[in-house]
Amino acid sequence: MTPTANARALQLIDDELSGVIGHLASERADRIAALAAELVGARRVFVLGLGRSGLALEMTGMRLMHLGLTVHIVGDATTPAIGVGDVLLAASGSGTTGGIVRAAENAVSAGARVVAITANADSPLAAASVATVVVPAAGKLDRSGAASAQYAGSLFEQAVVVIGDAVFHTLWLASGATADDLWPRHANLE
């Protein structure tokens, strides 16, 4: 591994992610705003993703908690039942992951609303959602290199982090809270 190879990899990631961000800013900003509005209006927010998408989305859950929203990570032992007034925030590149689709269907049956980040506009997850952000990224089984030269769903997962940070930043600015106001919600048991 050489510095030149690392520089090329960083440039590739930068180029691909910049392309996705540019597309989202120009073509999907209204969808991101709709997703953000659902979150800020929720009684509670439940966050669900699997694998790397789940890890990326948990970062958003943490930031939403810093804003003062009541947030639960689906699968944690202390996560309560979802219900009316709640929102399930889900991420799945394919939008067909069985556990995520079932959870979305269960959330809707319980009277909750679903918002999603996916790369598949025609997926069951998108169909269950009231606000869907579609990311123009390769699915994890796409080996064509057309949407991304990165491995598996890397570009999608990177976009999930960026979308989450954009939603947080927008909601934070709208709240009028200062960084000092949010700080007491940061973990202090490290």
Catalytic residue annotation: 157
Confirm if 74 and 103 have CB atoms less than 8 A apart.
yes
For residues 117 and 16, is the Cβ–Cβ distance under 8 A?
A: no
Cα–Cα distance measured from residue 118 to residue 20, given in angstroms and rounded to the nearest whole number: 13
Q: Which of 185, 131, 120, 175 is nearest to 153 (CA)?
A: 120
> Residue 86 is which amino acid?
D
- Of the candidates 24, 18, 28, 68, which has an alpha carbon nearest to the alpha carbon of residue 168? 68
Sequence-ordered alpha helix ranges (H) in the chain? 3-27, 29-40, 51-66, 98-109, 124-128, 154-175, 179-182
183: alpha, beta or left, given left = phi > 0 and alpha = psi -120 to 50? alpha
